[in-house]
Structure 1
Amino acid sequence: MKKLLFAVVLLITTIASAQKNSILLGGNVGYASEKLGDSKLENFEFSPRVGYQFAEKCTAGVEGSIMNVKTTGIDKTEKYKIGGFVRYSTPLSQMFSVFADLGAGYQNTSVNNAKGFYASLTPALFINMKNGFGLNFSIGGINYDNLDGKNDPRQENLGFNFGKTLNIGISKNFGL
């Protein structure tokens, strides 16, 4: 079971560089489980994306995220995000491209009904396999989050996680 969950986490699907005037579909699926003594933390996230490549190297679209976090002995937490993204990609050859995604939007969490803003910058590598299918690889990025709840002080987080994460995904380009 742990191997399956690890495979799901690694098989994070994102949209990739594609041809002008094409629709890009993708998203992330992730699961994490951590046990500390008698306490267990489980985290599940689903993050779909839809984009339109309006120029040879530029894509814009919308992204969302639903995250559920369960901790033994504590209520379940749900977190939602909705926003937009832009992508700039540069082909290195017919097979390889590099790209950077810049995303930003609104977020809400069920803990004290906290609301706020998020932003992220993620560089990645795309490998073109065949017929619009490809593999995406990223090893982290820069993330900013802020949340302001009714009974809690404002929380701000700035994360720089290059080399601390590995995302591997598949993507499909749908030409118009």
Structure 2
Amino acid sequence: MKKLLVAVVLLVTTMVSAQKNSILLGGNVGFGSEKIGESKTEGFEFSPKVGYQFSEKWTLGVEGSILNYKESNSKREEAYKVGVFTRYSVPLSDLFSFYADLGAGYQERSIDKTKGVYAGLTPALFINMKRGFGLNFSIGGISYDNLSGKEVAREQRFGFNFGKTVNIGISKNFGL
């Protein structure tokens, strides 16, 4: 089971470096578990991306996210996001590139039937290893969420979390 989980994580954390007329496939997998006293929280998230790199620096595509979340003594909650993103890449050398992803879209939570929008900006660093394989590093970003429903109060969140999170991925470039 652990080998399968590692293989899935490596597959879906793929983020492809910019190369004109190629396809970007990627995403993230996340799992979190927290226990404070008798209260326990668990969450699993899968966030794929697909895009087209129409120049060396620019990529446009679609992104999504499925979150499965459970707190002790409550029902399991699911949340969904679907949207678009654009990526701007700047090669720093043959080995390094800097890129920033800007994404926005629609989101929905199942348990309280809330719906809304989201937006986020994530800067990252790509390290080219060999033959199109590489590593991606990001340390946070800026995010905005807005959710509302008939039976719950409106929720708005703004996040600025640089240095608070670390994401590492593997990438492989697929040309057309």
Q: TM-score range by the shorter chain?
A: over 0.9
The answer to whether the 8 A contact 1:12-1:168 is kept is no
* 1:72 has 2:72 as partner: yes
Misfit runs of 4+, over 3 Å: 8-12
Q: 2:51 aligns to what?
A: 51
Identity %: 71
2:120 is aligned with what amino acid?
Answer: S
Distance 1:9 1:162 in 2: 23
1:47 is aligned with what amino acid?
Answer: S
CA shift, 1:17, in A, is: 2.3
Give me the CA root mean square deviation: 2.3
Distance 2:11 2:72 in 1: 27
Where does 1:80-159 land on structure 2 (aligned, <5 Å)?
80-159=80-159
Distance 1:9 1:114 in 2: 29
- Residues 107-142 of structure 1: per-residue CA shift (max 9 Å, x gap): 000132100000000000000112221100000000
Distance 1:16 1:125 in 2: 12
Q: 2:170 aligns to what?
A: 170
The answer to whether the 8 A contact 2:105-2:119 is kept is yes
The answer to whether the 8 A contact 2:17-2:171 is kept is no
TM-score, normalization by structure 2:
0.92
CA shift, 1:9, in A, is: 7.7
Q: 2:33 aligns to what?
A: 33
The SS at the match of 1:17 is coil
